[in-house]
Amino acid sequence: MLSRLYKQRRTLLGVLMFFTLIYSPHLTAQTVEPIDKDRLQTLITERHGRPLFLNIWATWCTPCLEEFPDIIRLSRKHTEIDVVAISADYPDETESKIIPFLKTMNVPFKVYVASFNTQDEFFSMFDKAWGGEIPATFIYTGNGTLKKFLRGKHSFAEFKKVVEEVAKKQ
C-alpha cells in the first residue's frame, strides 16, 4: 500500500514539474532580431490596415522598465493593434541583457534591437525633433502615418486612451 502511494506521489510530482517547466514564464521563447533602416521603414509603412504601437526602450533605462508591464498589458488587451518594441541597447547585449529581461516579463510581442550606423540615423527615422530621450512611443495608423509621439514614461491608462483615439480615427 505504501509503495503504491509513493509511486502515485512520485508520478504526480513529475507531472507538476513537467507543467511547471512547460508553462514557466521564465522559459518563454523570446527572440530579438536586429532591425536596420530598411526593415524599420517596412515595419512602419506596410501596416495592412493595422495600427502600430512602437516603443523605444533600453534595459539600462529605469522609466522604460517601469512602463514595460503597462505595454505588455496594453498588448494583451488591444489585440487589434500591433505592439512592437525596439531596444536601444547595443546589439551585442541581446543575449546577456535584453532576452533575460524579456523572459522575466513574459513579453508577448515582437522585440527588436536597433542596428544602425549611428544613433542619429536611428532617431531621424521617427521624428526630426526627437533628441533620442527614452522611453519614447510612436503610434502609427493602419496606413503608416505617425499619429502620436509620446515622450517619457506613460501609464496603461494613458497608452489605452491614445491607442483608442488613433483606432477610432482610422
- Percent of all residues in the chain with a pLDDT value above 90, rounded to a whole number: 71
Q: How high is the mean pLDDT of the chain?
A: 86
Confidence of residue 38 (pLDDT cuts 50, 70, 90): very high
Q: 78 near 160, Cβ under 8 Å?
A: yes
Taking the C-alpha atoms of 143, 80, 64 and 24 in order, what is their torsion angle to the nearest 10 degrees? -140
Q: 152 near 135, Cβ under 8 Å?
A: yes
Interval 103-151: pLDDT, tens: 999 999 999 999 999 888 898 899 878 889 999 999 999 999 999 999 9
Query: What does pTM read for this prediction?
Result: 0.81
Interval 65-91: pLDDT, tens: 999 999 999 999 999 999 999 999 999
